[in-house]
Amino acid sequence: MTRSDESFPGVVSAQSGPDNTLLPRITSSLQLFHDHKQSILDLHARVGKGNKPMDHFQIPKLELMHGVVPSITSSGAVIQWSADTTEHAHITEVKVPGRSGNNQSYGPQICRWLDRSEKHRNFSLALSIQHTPHSQHDQNEDDPDPLDQDPADDTNDEQDGHTPRGPSGTAAQHRDFFSRSTWLLKNITPSTPLPLRSFHTETTAFQLNRLPSLKEVTVDEIATKFKIPDLHPALADYIRRARTLHSTIFKLGQRRTSPTDADLPFTHLNVWYSVRMQMRTTDVMDVTDPQRVCASPSSEEWPFGRYDTVLLSNGTPLGPGLGGVRLLTPLSPPTNISSGFDLAQIRLIFHPIWDVNVFLLYAERFDLLPQPTAYGSTSRGYSPDPATGMYVVKRSLRSNGVRLGDVVPLSQARIPAPLIPRYGDRADPKLTAQNSLEFSTEFYLNHFFDKELYYFMLWNNL
């Protein structure tokens, strides 16, 4: 990762990109051009094909330069604007193969090195698959699952999207949670623990550890541990809506109507610190690598807790009851990411010790901030920031100033949606990876970070 210039947090140094010295020079150069561009046209010095004079400066790179300074001062060193990945690829795909030859005929030798390396990886992957002892359908819900972990290890291996390693150092083939959950649903026995730890909706499959991270803890204890003061009335509101309005939309931001001491049909919860989510890919007929989404309380490493953000569907239910959700029903207010989705931070993943077999979330909503409809325009609307192409969001608050959160089924989660702080002219020096979601006031929804999120938002008109 490139270091930041200390006098201008969030701006990468000249070692790898624009810094405090270069940014004013870019601005000054652009202003110098604008001051004298008309004289260039008057002298017919701007010419095109056939040496014919041109009366405009419609140059894509010139237009791009106008967004460099606002983007960097607003967003800092965003990953997609860094050359690190390209530079690293030059090392692995050109320099290393080139050094492996005899300094002759670089092109053919590099191509041969890359070809043989790919064959070696494919052979190692074939061995890895052959050595896998069981297929996913050779196990039932009562057998040990290699993807299930002890609660104490809930933040290991696949956290942060890392894939477990198989034989010969190759990546182990990821499990298809869609097929697994379908098979489990068809093979339920009296001894099968419910709700099933693997289940899926139209777009997303979910896998939870067999054992909860916290078992049979009271609602009030959980509310204190996870700092959710309105958990009790939020549960009461969810149960009332589910029982009385069978076609209700489980969306975030509904009016809190239950008192803090409302009666609940249960007293204890089982809580999970994370859930693995797997999506159907949008560009090919396949499934993605599972991603771990966390909702864990404060710890030594994460003093404010680790609570990830996702897109939640707020569509109409598939039918009566407390369960599934159908995608894309235009019933949400315009401040949401779209008419069919809420952007939310997951604060709790749990199952009430009750006779209803559904996993639930307590999630807090983010709202869109109006942005200029075009670069330099005074007109504003609920559209992406023209300088970065990303939506700008902030936390949604209730009228009393507390964060707006509600209980919804886990099945409404669609895809992880990472946020990055919107720094402004200066980033807060106390911001770290562990506290930026707590201390920042505005954020970018970084849909460029992940291919699947980018396509998901593009294809759903977000």
Which tokens go with 247? 């076609």
Going by C-alpha positions, the residue among 74, 95, 99, 92 that lies closest to residue 23 is 74
pLDDT in the model for residue 249: 65
pLDDT in the model for residue 140: 43
- Tokens 């996913």 belong to 136
Contacts with 360 (C-beta within 8 Å, 6 or more apart), sequence order: 238, 349, 350, 351, 352, 407, 408, 409, 410
pLDDT in the model for residue 430: 87
pLDDT in the model for residue 83: 61
**CA dist list (Å): 12 to 67, 91, 180, 426, 445:** 16, 21, 45, 13, 21
Give the mean pLDDT of 175-196.
Answer: 88
Give the mean pLDDT of 238-266.
Answer: 84
Which tokens go with 140? 């039932």
Work out the pLDDT band at 51, boundaries 50, 70, 90.
Answer: confident
pLDDT in the model for residue 80: 52
Residue 323 confidence (pLDDT) above 90 = no
- CA dist 314 and 249 (Å) reads 6
Give the mean pLDDT of 66-71.
Answer: 82
- For the CA atoms of the chain, what is the radius of gyration? 26
| Residue 249 near residue 315 (C-beta atoms within 8 A) | yes
How wide is the angle at C-alpha 429 spanned by C-alphas 424 and 433, nearest 5°?
Answer: 90
- Of 226-240, 309-323, 390-404, least confident by mean pLDDT is 309-323
Which tokens go with 12? 């990468």
Work out the pLDDT band at 168, boundaries 50, 70, 90.
Answer: very low
Residue 336 confidence (pLDDT) above 70 = no
Residue 132 confidence (pLDDT) above 80 = no
- CA dist 361 and 85 (Å) reads 36
- CA dist 297 and 360 (Å) reads 17
- CA dist 454 and 458 (Å) reads 6
Between these two residues, 264 and 281, which has the higher pLDDT value? 264
- CA dist 189 and 141 (Å) reads 9
- CA dist 13 and 273 (Å) reads 38
- Of 3-12, 215-224, 397-406, 426-435, least confident by mean pLDDT is 3-12
Work out the pLDDT band at 103, boundaries 50, 70, 90.
Answer: confident
pLDDT in the model for residue 175: 80
Tens of pLDDT, residue by residue over 13-27, are 334 456 677 888 888
pTM for this predicted structure: 0.65
Work out the pLDDT band at 281, boundaries 50, 70, 90.
Answer: confident
Residue 417 confidence (pLDDT) above 90 = yes
Tell me the average pLDDT of the chain: 79
| Residue 446 near residue 343 (C-beta atoms within 8 A) | no
